[in-house]
Amino acid sequence: AEVDETLKRIQAHKGVIATMIINAEGIPIRTTLDNSTTVQYAGLLCQLTTKARSTVRDIDPQNDLTFLRIRSKKHEVMVAPDKEYLLVVIQNPCE
C-alpha cells in the first residue's frame, strides 16, 4: 500500500509519462505502460544500468552508481538503481 502511494505520487508529478519497477533480472514488476514497451525498456535499461555501474566502479571501486538520467529530444528517462530493483520514470521536461 505504501508502495502504491509513493508510486502514485511520483506519477502525479508534472510531465511524467510513465513509471516502472524492474527487478534485477530485467523482468518488469510494476508498470504504467503497455506490456511490449515496458519489456523493451526493461531489457535495455537493465543492461545500460549495469554498464554504467561497472563504469563507475571501474574508475573508483569505492564509488557506486546512484542515479542515471538520459535526456533525449523528446523526454528524459530517469533510472534509480538498487541492489535488486530498478525504478524507471519517463518525464517530459520541456516547458
Q: Which residues bind other proteins (CB under 8 A)?
A: 2-3, 6-7, 9-10, 13-16, 21, 23, 25-30, 39, 42-43, 66-67, 69, 71, 76, 78, 80, 82, 84-85, 87, 89, 91, 93-95
- Environment class of 58 (CB within 10 Å of its CB; exposed 0-12, middle 13-18, buried 19+): exposed
Nearer to other proteins, 21 or 59 (CB): 21
Instruction: Kindly state the DSSP code that residue 12 receives in the 8-state scheme.
Output: T
Nearer to other proteins, 5 or 58 (CB): 5
Q: How far is the CB of 83 from other proteins (least distance, A)?
A: 8
- Nearest-angstrom CA–CA distance, 40 and 65: 22
Strand order in the sheet with 16-23: 28-31, 16-23, 85-91, 76-81, 68-71
Q: How far is the CB of 20 from other proteins (least distance, A)?
A: 12
